[in-house]
Chain A
Amino acid sequence: MANKQEKSSKSIGIVKKITGSKGFSSLAAALMAILLGLIFGFLVMLIARPGSAVPGIRYVTLGGLGRIGDVFYFATPILMTGLAVGFAFKMGLFNIGASGQYTMGMFFALYAVFMLDLPDGLSWVVAILAGFVGGMVWGAIPGIFKALMNVNEVITSIMFNYIGMYLVDMLVLKNAAMYNPAMTRTRYIPSGAQIPALGIHGSNVNFGIVFAIIIAVVLYIVLEKTTFGYELKATGFNKHASEYAGMKGKRNIILTMSIAGGLAGVGGAFAILAPSAIVGSSMTYEPINIIATAGFNGIAVALLGNAHPIGIIFSATFISHIQRGGTLASLVGYKPEIIDVVVAVIIYFSAFAMIMNTGLGKFVKKRIEKDKKDLEIKEGSE
């Protein structure tokens, strides 16, 4: 009986269900945000170089389509850092330390490659796991501070971005097996320790993106289907109620930050272990005291993806797409700096508009809900 009713109500309300669902409204919000971002990006291009603005914006918006491989290649690390930010966000934690975790993961991966004597094929697997451990440690520390001493995780994780970066740079510079002073970079990673390429011509896209998407799906399952996800989201929504329900808030904070850190760390490993199209070379790390941008892009990715793991797959791909398109805009005379500005404007405007949308959405919703209180009774007796 119940099943039949369910089915009939399903078929009746399909349209209502799609348009009324949370997924739809956040997708609509994301698309609106992107549109706003593009308009502002176009305005910047118009100001910088009026004559080339139209072909320029065309490159930015459509250029990536010709380089799908690269889009996914560059999407890989920011997808991971996006997950790192988004996952913690579900618990109400703002993990701004994805950069440090990413760098730490990269270092651990490098360490596994150069310092452990592992056979080809196994090496990169171990290195990815090492990356997870590295990021995890770097995420856990702010988590521990937050849980045990109630130190704001934003402050500690920002500090740990710097601590992690300087520490890694120091360790790399001191390590002759890793560092090549002649190139002022880390040494080339042997091809056997690189993640296998997906074989798209002219692109470094590799299995990293496949793993990243799988990880995102796994996270989605963890968040939606498990008791841990239930606790995590409950804590994010209402800390007091989760406490009242006897959830172990402190343990969950540490666990969440550790997992988030680990995700960013895997992102670092994916980035450094990517195969190179040029035979005999590889990705390298240059210890020049610069904070990894992947961490901050991860914030934009997470915001645009509404902190939803599946949404983050798409937002990471979109941001990578805009960045690829942006590099092509130099063909119509835009300087790289201007392109950076345009890309940044699009990304951040999209992300901010997304916040505005959801913030605004919440406000409107609250008003409606105030009234809804009276309705559900009638609906029930319908």
Chain B
Amino acid sequence: MANYIIEMLDITKEFPGIKANDDITLKLKKGEIHALLGENGAGKSTLMSVLFGLYQAETGVIKKNGEVVKINNPNDANALGIGMVHQHFKLVEIFTVLENIILGVEPTKKGLIEKSEARNRVIDLSEKYGLKVNPDAIIEDISVGMQQRVEILKMLYRDNEILIFDEPTAVLTPQEIKELLKIMRDLAEEGKSILFITHKLNEIMEIADRCTVLRKGRCVGTVDVDKTTKEELSRMMVGRDISFTIDKKRSQPGEKVLSVKQMTVASKTHKNNAVRNVSFDVHAGEIVCLAGIDGNGQTELVHALSGLDKMIQGEVTLCGEDISKASIRKRAISGMSHIPEDRHKHGLVLEYSLAENLVLQRYWQEAFQKNGFIRFRAVEQYAERLIESYDIRSGQGPKTVVRSMSGGNQQKAIVAREIDKDHELLVAVQPTRGLDVGAIEFIHKQLVGIRDAGKAVLLVSLELEEVMNLSDRILVMYEGEIVGELDPSTTTVQELGLYMAGAKRNKGEEAFNG
């Protein structure tokens, strides 16, 4: 059967005491989009690492076009035309977009890098596929979404014929996802073969031809997507039924918890202000969602709210207390919890243990320290409680180094920490990014739960579905301004999309701009 471009046969990859991949077989047809579905930690990344040469399997063989190949390192993989967009970006932060794309395959002339040709190709590629990037922007200055685009461009630039996408849509906006899915379809039509790792069943249903489902290191099966349903796939993945609709009562907004007046925040990437004269309130017992396409000022707004960055002007009131100039610690004590956008940059100290990370916001409290000495027993017991009640899975419990945990469980740790801490307002920025459906369901339940407990929630999300399902009120941000306030029960996704794209504005905006 020569129509398989890649066959991974009976792959077993063992780590001390554990089988990460147990006798997995995956066959990729030429020109197909093959989804790889599984919970966080089901063994998808391990399997892809084996294919990409980061790992050697104990047993099993890999065949390309029917011939056995040995992939010892990523260079071998590249030589075989296998490219990968990693979940966590592999970019040089201080290099430009262009430099990152050509890194490793720099076109040279007499030993000097010849950038102009490469630049044209990158611009062509980015125009062709609608992956808008500025080739001269420095990576650390651009948004996570744009960094993702650079990763995808990197692979396109290398003309790889087998493309592994490791959760590429996790950070993209709905529009971008649409575009990306179109790109992927185009690529498949051009004869490229795509392995698509994702948690999002809708995307699989939309573009994948076949789907292989992994659970706890084992292969549950490979199905033709057009002969299956979302429910079926999720049952295969999780082993139980998952509810896709969020079960929640109508909100009962109470007192005003957060009040933002005329907030203006400078941008770090351009001269215009990132947030312009924004005013809004969040009440107890409601989930207010800040919707918008990535890069329209949400990040800066949240940074100014949490105290990570300063405002140029404006006033922030939390529970009646003016916290416009308060320190981050003061804001936390006043009742603000914050699930940050970038879990590796802000949310976690990766070198620290899980227990140490779980007390990151409260290690200084009476319960966890005495005269400046950390009460390790108390910290550990607390960590064990959170691990138990939030189902944070880790190798060595509280002692696990967080760096070694899966992304989903890292996120769960942050969510557990922020929800469990005393708070009146939870600022949650993309809390379900990169999580599997089971974990998303869990976190959504938690958010609704704290809402019903009378807390205020400010949710920043790029996922339209999440916005529509979870929020009680939607504020749409466009170019640093709030351009609309919508009620999810009366609005449609299409209308929300128009607001997000800046095509529509709420005439009554004076009403909430004060």
Contacts and interface: CB of A to CB of B under 8 A. Distances in A.
A119 interface: no
A47 interface: no
A246 B308 CA distance: 9
B360 A227 contact: no
A13 to B, nearest CB: 10
Given A226-B374, A237-B352, A241-B347, A378 B360 contact: no
Nearest to B342: A240
B345 interface: yes
B182 interface: no
B126 interface: no
Contacts of A245: 328, 360-361
Interface string A208-230: 00000000000000000111101
Given A230-B363, A234-B360, A376 B372 contact: no
A371 B374 contact: no
Interface residues of A, number: 33
Contacts of B407: 373
B469 interface: no
A378 B396 CA distance: 11
B338 interface: yes
Interface in B13-46: 13, 15, 17-20, 40-46
A381 B40 CA distance: 14
Given A241-B360, A246-B361, A374 B372 contact: no
A244 B17 CA distance: 37
Contacts of A242: 349
A337 interface: no
Nearest to B391: A380
Contact of B349 (A227, A228, A238, A378): A238
Contact of B406 (A248, A367, A374): A374
A244 B13 CA distance: 38
Interface in B332-387: 332, 338, 340, 345-352, 356, 360-361, 363-364, 369, 372-374, 376
How many residues of B sit at the interface, in one of the four size bands?
35 or more
Given A237-B352, A241-B348, A374 B44 contact: yes
A372 B372 contact: no
A237 B393 contact: no
A117 interface: no
Contacts of A373: 41, 45, 404-407
A246 B332 contact: yes
B374 to A, nearest CB: 6
A12 B376 CA distance: 24
B72 interface: no
A16 to B, nearest CB: 8
Nearest to A235: B349
B22 to A, nearest CB: 9
B378 to A, nearest CB: 13
Contacts of B83: none
B393 A377 contact: yes
Residue from the set A238, A243, A378 with the largest chain B CB neighbour count within 10 Å: A378
Contact of A382 (B18, B350, B372, B405): B18
A367 B49 CA distance: 9
B200 interface: no
B403 interface: yes
Nearest to B400: A376
Contacts of B352: 233-234, 237
Contacts of A374: 20, 41-46, 217, 406
A377 B345 CA distance: 24
Interface string A81-95: 000000000000000
Contacts of A233: 352
A340 interface: no
Contact of B350 (A237, A243, A367): A237
Contacts of A230: 356, 363, 374
B501 to A, nearest CB: 31
A234 B349 contact: yes
Contact of B372 (A226, A370, A371): A226
A276 B400 CA distance: 51
A240 B308 CA distance: 9
Contacts of A377: 40-42, 216, 393, 406, 409
B308 A370 contact: no
A169 B40 CA distance: 64
Given A237-B349, A371-B46, A382-B17, A244 B338 contact: yes
Nearest to B417: A245
A371 B54 contact: yes
Contacts of A225: 373-374, 376
B514 interface: no
Nearest to B405: A376
A375 B18 contact: yes
Contacts of A247: 329
B4 interface: no
Interface string B37-74: 00011111110010000110000000000000000000
B231 to A, nearest CB: 24
Interface string B181-200: 00000000000000000000
A351 to B, nearest CB: 22
Contacts of B405: 373, 376
A380 B350 contact: no
Nearest to B359: A230
B53 to A, nearest CB: 11
Nearest to B379: A230
B219 to A, nearest CB: 14
B395 interface: yes
A371 B20 contact: yes
Residue from the set A226, A228, A246 with the largest chain B CB neighbour count within 10 Å: A246
B404 A226 contact: no
Given A238-B349, A371-B15, A380 B393 contact: yes
A226 B373 contact: yes
A247 B348 CA distance: 14
B229 interface: no
Contacts of B55: 371
Contacts of B403: 369
Contact of B395 (A234, A367, A380): A380
Contacts of B360: 234, 241, 245
Contacts of B404: 369, 372-373, 376
A375 B47 CA distance: 12
Nearest to B333: A246
Given A227-B369, A227-B374, A244-B340, A372 B394 contact: no
23 contacts: A225-B373, A225-B376, A234-B349, A234-B352, A237-B351, A241-B349, A241-B360, A243-B328, A246-B329, A246-B361, A371-B20, A371-B49, A372-B15, A373-B404, A373-B405, A373-B406, A374-B217, A375-B41, A376-B400, A376-B404, A377-B41, A377-B216, A377-B409
Given A234-B349, A375-B18, 6 more contacts: A226-B373, A241-B349, A371-B15, A374-B42, A375-B15, A377-B216
Nearest 8 CB-CB pairings of A with B? A246-B329, A376-B395, A377-B41, A246-B328, A244-B346, A373-B406, A378-B18, A379-B395
